[in-house]
Amino acid sequence: MSIAPDKPGTLHQFFEECVRKAPDNIALEYEGECISYGELNRRANQLAHYLRDSVGVVPDDRVAILVRHPPTVIAGMLAVLKAGGAYVALDPDNPPAVTHRSIENVSPKALLVESSAAAGAAFFTGELFVTDVMSATLDTPDTDPAPASAPTDLAYVIHTSGTTGAPKATAVEHHSIVKTLRWRNAYYGFGPDDTTLAMPRPSFDSSVADTFCALTSGARLLLPARDRITDRRYLTGLMEHREVSHFLITPALYSRLLRGMSTQSTKALRSITIAGEWFTSSLVREHFSRLPDVKLFNEYGPSENSVCSTVHPLGASDPHVLIGRPVDDTEVFVLDDDGEPVGPGGTGELYLGGGRLARGYLGNPELTAEKFFRPPAPLFGGQRVYRTGDIVRVHADGNLQFVERRDQQIKIRGRRVDLGDVAEVLTRDDSVDHVFLLRRDTASAAPRLIAFVVGPTATDVERLRATAKESLPDYMVPSAIIPVDTVPVTPHGKVDEAALDALYSDATTPEGPAPEPATPVESALLAIWRKLFAPLAVGLDDDFFELGGDSLGVMDLVADVEEHLGVQLDNSDPYTGRTIRSLALIIEDRQSTEAGTA
């Protein structure tokens, strides 16, 4: 499918089309504030004129966005596009070192920054626009700037994990992402009557499709508070009271959110899209047992093919979780190790072709040439393809099933993580000679990343953990760092992961007698923690987060406490009561208060 000549070929023109049709309709809603399509367009236009006329932004210039306030992020994205540039959304909660590397990687012309995130921009010497200070003083026109960018110019740059310790900056052109949006809007039937709950953060590639499908279909985009995206009661409350009809979510987050969902709280919900990582059919069955009338879709696709490449409508009785068939403007090729096509029932590596491929990796022509190329085989018809590194199985009906990664990349919280990135950071420490990273699946569906470090003096675990936290996004920081004399191998010379599992258990098992809970609440919490952190032995004074707990683990903990103790914790409580003993005191106090008011 190609875009007709009378259709807008750039992302912002697609948005402007919706503005002209219904300027008074609500485009964004955030914490009680509603912004119409017309008002959002005017705000973006004022900043766009400033970026073009005062900063000198021209096509293919990058403008980074380091902002927390969600409506300002979206107005900033549109402004950069309207000015003719390409936006680069950064996560303001990342450590400054991560932000520094990301900005250096894209060499932005300017940086839109919020005062509260300014620490991440302290090193930047280019043009700064402080959104919460300077926006009110703009006196530029609020009319649409004259078009400056063409469909083949850059629209945005998104970062993914790389193999050299530096993030990969995937550069996507307007025509590629517009094709994705047109397909998604038609496939899901998005329109002005829809409300999309925006789950992915702007720095996550799924947010591009999620955000702009709403803003190019006339739908309302409901923006949750950033710090409450893992608060189950808050999210289900939004769905119930704001009549959410669709959202896109990672399976790890959805498995937790689903525990609080019912047909009553989601009466307006008509479809959910799961994307970002592999999951099992148990999640599908749980979905249909709770929400039998809500359609469930599985989308697969790397950033390098403009977010989405295949889709599959899931069913309650599906024996496998399939990633489905290619979407419009995408071709798929599954090849064996000899480069020959794989037939039905076979397994091979997935290559993608078609009109939605990214331009490549910004500033990295070698990696671009390696991953994006024109194979000589007649099968490809001379077209450019992207090698995904994903191994898939071809079913008899043409549907695809994800099997595994060919390389060391894994998915954690829906984000690609190259284990080489994590190892590279840890080996910067002079005491570390070698790092082996082990991915451990857990009952909570959130994989745990364990780092085994080898070196004669690599025993200062706290220093190594601090290094990781300073240099990596939180989802890439290992849950545990364990010094070992050597990495064990099997008689065949492969890494002995069973032996590493045993070393992990030994290293994280506290010495002395098993903990003796002093109260029924402590006993219940101990059982919950043992389930969350199995196979670790946990103590009453062990820190939840030092054991490997994270924001998704907090969701599990809060849900389990409500189920087993009948107490509704706030998501902030586990951050205050980080041990079993301290959290038990919070729960017992809550129980006493509730009993006193009964």
H or E segment to which residue 182 belongs: helix 174-188
Fold of 520-596: 1.10.1200
Cβ-based burial of 307 (10 A; exposed 0-12, middle 13-18, buried ≥19):
buried
User: Does residue 489 have a pLDDT over 70?
Assistant: no
pLDDT tens string 56-70: 999 999 999 999 999
Residue 123's pLDDT band (boundaries 50, 70, 90)?
A: confident
CA dist 504 and 332 (Å) reads: 40
pLDDT reading at 132 higher than 90 = yes
pLDDT of residue 468: 86
Lowest mean pLDDT among 89-93, 233-237, 482-486: 482-486
Q: Kindly state the average pLDDT of the residues 349-367.
A: 95
Q: What is the Cα–Cα distance from 379 to 357, expressed in whole angstroms?
A: 18
At 465, list the tokens.
Answer: 């953990």
Instruction: Quote the pLDDT of residue 446.
Output: 58
**Each residue's pLDDT tens digit, 14-45:** 999 999 999 999 999 999 999 999 999 999 99
Task: Look at 73-87, 96-110, 499-513 and tell me which has the smallest mean pLDDT.
Answer: 499-513
- pLDDT band of residue 7 (cuts 50, 70, 90) is low
pLDDT in tens, 233-273: 999 999 999 999 999 998 878 988 998 898 888 899 999 99
State how far the Cα of 243 lies from the Cα of 325, in Å rounded to an integer: 31
> How far is the C-alpha of 477 from the C-alpha of 554, rounded, in Å?
17
- Residue 178: other Cβ atoms inside 10 A: 24
Better-predicted residue by pLDDT, 537 or 557: 557
pLDDT band at 274 (very low <50, low <70, confident <90, very high): very high
Instruction: Place 5 in a pLDDT band, splitting at 50, 70 and 90.
Output: very low
Please state the domain extents for the chain: 410-497, 520-596
pLDDT at residue 4 in the model: 40
């760092």: which residue's tokens?
481
Tokens of 358: 């990214």
Q: Give the phi and the psi of residue 55 in degrees, each rounded to 5.
A: -95, -30
Asked if the model's pLDDT at residue 447 lies above 70, the reply is: no
pLDDT > 70: percent of the chain: 91
301 vs 433, which has greater pLDDT? 301
pLDDT of residue 413: 65
The residue-averaged pLDDT of 578-587 equals 93
Mean pLDDT in residue range 130-151: 95
Segment 449-466 shows an average pLDDT of: 81
Average pLDDT over residues 274-282: 84
Residue 497 has pLDDT above 70, yes or no: yes
CA distance 325 to 591: 52
Which has the closest alpha carbon to 446: 471, 422, 415?
415
Q: Is the pLDDT of residue 2 over 60?
A: no
515 or 310, greater pLDDT:
310
Beta strand 168-173 pairing with 360-361: antiparallel
The pLDDT confidence band at residue 504, using thresholds 50, 70 and 90, is: confident
Among the four given CATH numbers 3.40.190.290, 3.30.300.30, 3.40.50.150, 3.40.50.2000, the one describing domain 410-497? 3.30.300.30
User: If we measure between CA atoms, which residue out of 352, 452, 353, 447 comes closest to residue 409?
Assistant: 447
Average pLDDT over the chain, rounded to an integer: 88
Q: How far is CA 290 from CA 55, 131, 265, 293, 316, in A?
A: 52, 42, 11, 9, 11
Amino acid at 586: I
pLDDT band, very low/low/confident/very high, at 177 (cuts 50, 70, 90): very high
Q: Is the pLDDT of residue 196 over 90?
A: yes
Q: Are 310 and 329 in contact (CB under 8 A)?
A: no
Query: In terms of DSSP H, where are the helices of 295-375?
Result: 365-371
Rounded percentage of the chain residues whose pLDDT exceeds 90:
55
Domains 410-497 and 520-596 share a fold: no
